Structure formats: C-alpha cells, structure tokens
Structure 1
Amino acid sequence: MDKKSIMKIGIVNYGCGNIASISNIIKYIGYKPEIINRSEDVLLFDSIILPGVGHFKNGMSNINFSGMRNALDKRAELDKPILGICLGMQLMTQSSEESDETGLCWFDSKTIKFTELENNKNKILVPHMGWNYVKEVEENVFFEEEDRFYFVHSFYVDALKSQEALATTIYEEINFSSAIKKGNLVGVQFHPEKSHQFGMTFFRKYFNKI
C-alpha cells in the first residue's frame, strides 16, 4: 500500500501557526494531513508538525493553556516524530532572549537575537527575511548542497557547538543553526511551506525518513 495513503500526519493547532499553508503544501505532495485541536490526539499520529509564527512568550503561553503541553512532552519523551517550523523550532529549545518564558526544553540549545556585527560598521537588518542557503553540518537525508529556503525571523537557535545542529545558514556574517535534530525531533528555522520546490522536496525527504 502507498505510504502516502496510510501515514497519519497531524498539524498542531495552538493558535500561533501558519496551518493552512503547511496543510496545503503537504496535500500537494500527496499526503492527507489533519489538524490537531485536542491534546488527546497528539500521540495518535505517525508524525506531527509544530508550526509557529509570532512571539515566543505567546507561543509557549498558548501551548501551556491549550492543554497541549503534557501530550507534546509525552510524545517527545517517547521519541515519536515531531517537526518544528520557525517559532515551532525555537519553542523546542530551553529559552529565548525574546521572553523570560521557559521553552519546551527538548533541546539543550537556546534561542538568541541577531545583534550588531563584530566589526561594528553597521547593524544587520532584522528580521532576516528572504531566500538563503542551508548547509548540512554532516551528511544527512534532508538537505543537498544547493538547497535554499525562505526565512523570516529575528531570533535564531544557537546550536553550533552541540550535537544538535543539523544544518547551518549564514546571514550577515552570522552562522546560525537553521536546522536541529535530536532523535526523531527535528526543527527548521526556515518556512518549507513558503519555499516552493525546495520546501516540497524537504517535506518528501522528511516523511520518507519516518
């Protein structure tokens, strides 16, 4: 039987996600995603996506007050596949300089803000917005050398010195972690749902790996 017809993919609705665009691109490549509105459904899917757009504090507050937190933590503890996108990736970390709110703490890394360049000649433009290349830290099944994706973010995950960095991107001389991985937990800073053929290829590779 075709894997696309039997794989259960869920997109977590906690009030901060770009759900429609993610659902549409996943449908376009042949899968049938469902929206997760209840915490009791979080463990029922083969893979879930934790989307995210907006402020770190709002994201964590919504997850905590929605009743999703315990179910998400249980899924992470069981090492069942979770893909965090943009803010969703940042929420997976310990904390963010955007807020005093504690993150989900699934990764040891922290989320920090883009700052002035070391040479102090000028300040970098924030947010980092537009197309940029992603370079794998070591050989993996998700990225190729010339892959580029669409980014919109003012904060980034600092995982370069850890085992969690999966891929990196350079913006104005700052080399940051554009993808992280720990077991079956994966986070990407870019928006695959806005990245056209590169985004579709990424989703295909990701779901094929599960």
Structure 2
Amino acid sequence: MITVLDYGSGNIAAIANLLRLSNLPHAVVQTPDGLSEANHIILPGVGAFDNTMASFRRSGVEAALHERTQAGAALLGICVGMQVLAEASDEGTEPGLNLVPGRVRRFDPQTIDCPSKVPHMGWNAIKPTGPHPLLEGIDLERGFYFLHSYYFDCADAGHALAVTEHGRPFHCAVGNGRVFGVQFHPEKSHDNGVRLFQNFMSL
C-alpha cells in the first residue's frame, strides 16, 4: 500500500485519484501515527520550503519520516516534497530533512536563456542519468508537467536520477537509497504519472 501524507500542503485529491486510476492501494494519513507501518510513502508539497518544514516540526512528521526511512520504507517527495529532502534551500532559513545531500537553489534569470520563464511551468522532456527502475517505461520525450521556481542541486552527482532543461540543465529526479524526489508533478502528467507511481510501488 502507498501512504500519502496530507499535512495541509499538496494536491492530495489529484494524487489519490491517479493512484486509484492506477489500481494502486493507498491511504491518506495526517498524523505521524499514520506513518507507523507505512512501507511506501508519498510526500507531496506546494508552497514555501520554510513553511513546510515548520509544519513538519510542529506535527512530529519530521521524526516519523526519519524513523520510517531508517526502517527501510521507500519515500517519494513531489515538488516541494522533493525540495525538503535537501539540507537547505535558498528560499528560506530552515534546515531540510537532509535525506538527499544537496541544496535547493532559485533559478537565476540572468543565467538562463529565457529570463521571463520563471517560474518554470509546463511540460518538459527528462533525461535519465542512467537506468533506474523508478523511471522504467517512461516516455522520456513527453516527460512531465513542471511548476516551480527552485530546483534541487545534488551535492553528489550520483544521487541525480534525471535532468531536464530550463535554460540550463537541472536535477529533476533524485534518489538516495530508497528515498526519491521528483520536481515535476506526476499527478498532472497522465500516463507517465501512472507509470511512475506503479514503478515506485514496485521498489
């Protein structure tokens, strides 16, 4: 079963609907106790890095996520849910979960080809850095739907699973052990989103 963490920030209904269409059993939980037996956890996220981390710490979710990942549960962060896997972010001052070493950085309009395109929004192809079961069977040219102004910069290139282009290459999927993050929105990416969730469940 996939456990979707609802902490008040994320497109929970769309994720749950896609999991249902994918015939993947799932449950939506709102407390640390709801994660106690979880083996596959989806961590959605919409909004600001600091607000998300503050919410985690108030609710006890941060400790619960660390406990489950240390116990071997697979974790998939989506959008801001991916960004909080990092050590820190240019968006704020709160430390992240530090489950994938790296820092979240803001797109600099001065260093990309299309300065008017921040935030990065729309469909983009992705390019895996190598074979990985999370991305198996994905239509890479069609890619995924993105909406963000910040991106994950891995400290270790070995943790980057895929890159995409927005004026310059950036890491759009990361992984460290059984902890994964994707900057794009699978729940808005039709067949590729379905396949990604199915792949995640099989890990």
Q: Same fold (TM over 0.5)?
A: yes
Letter in 1 for 2:190: H
Shift in Å at residue 100 of structure 1?
Answer: 0.6
| 1:110 alignment partner in structure 2 | 103
For residue 133 of structure 1, the aligned residue among 111, 125, 128 is: 125
Shift in Å at residue 142 of structure 1?
Answer: 2.8
Shift in Å at residue 161 of structure 1?
Answer: 4.8
Letter in 2 for 1:187: G
Shift in Å at residue 117 of structure 1?
Answer: 3.8
Residues 82-107 of structure 1, C-alpha deviations (whole Å, 9 max, x = no match): 10000000000001100011101111
Letter in 2 for 1:150: Y
Q: CA 1:137–1:89 in 2, change beyond 3 Å: closer, same or farther?
A: same
TM-score relative to the length of structure 1: 0.90
For residue 53 of structure 2, the aligned residue among 60, 76, 85 is: 60
1:137 and 1:205 map into 2 onto residues whose CA distance is 17
Q: CA 1:160–1:128 in 2, change beyond 3 Å: closer, same or farther?
A: farther
For residue 22 of structure 1, the aligned residue among 12, 15, 24 is: 15
Is the counterpart of residue 155 in structure 1 residue 147 in structure 2? no
Shift in Å at residue 180 of structure 1?
Answer: 0.3
| 2:166 alignment partner in structure 1 | 171
| 1:97 alignment partner in structure 2 | 90
Letter in 1 for 2:188: K
User: Over aligned residues, Cα RMSD in angstroms?
Assistant: 1.6
Shift in Å at residue 42 of structure 1?
Answer: 1.0
**Does structure 1 retain, via aligned residues, the 8 Å contact 2:50–2:92?**
yes
SS of the residue corresponding to residue 173 of structure 2 reads strand
Shift in Å at residue 122 of structure 1?
Answer: 6.1
Looking at CA atoms only, which structure, 1 or 2, has the larger radius of gyration? 1
SS of the residue corresponding to residue 134 of structure 2 reads coil
Identity %: 36
**Does structure 2 retain, via aligned residues, the 8 Å contact 1:111–1:157?**
yes
Name structure 2 gaps, 5 residues minimum.
none
Name structure 1 gaps, 5 residues minimum.
1-7
**Larger relative contact order (Cα-Cα within 8 Å, sequence gap ≥ 6):** 2
2:155 and 2:63 map into 1 onto residues whose CA distance is 29
| 2:115 alignment partner in structure 1 | 123
1:122 and 1:25 map into 2 onto residues whose CA distance is 32
1:122 and 1:84 map into 2 onto residues whose CA distance is 28
SS of the residue corresponding to residue 106 of structure 1 reads coil
For residue 174 of structure 2, the aligned residue among 169, 174, 180 is: 180
2:111 and 2:145 map into 1 onto residues whose CA distance is 25
Is the counterpart of residue 73 in structure 1 residue 86 in structure 2? no
Q: How many residues align?
A: 200
Letter in 1 for 2:133: V
Residues 24-59 of structure 1, C-alpha deviations (whole Å, 9 max, x = no match): 000111022111112122131220100000110111
Once superposed, which parts of structure 1, at least 4 consecutive aligned residues long, lie more than 6 Å away? none
Moved more, 148-157 or 121-130: 121-130
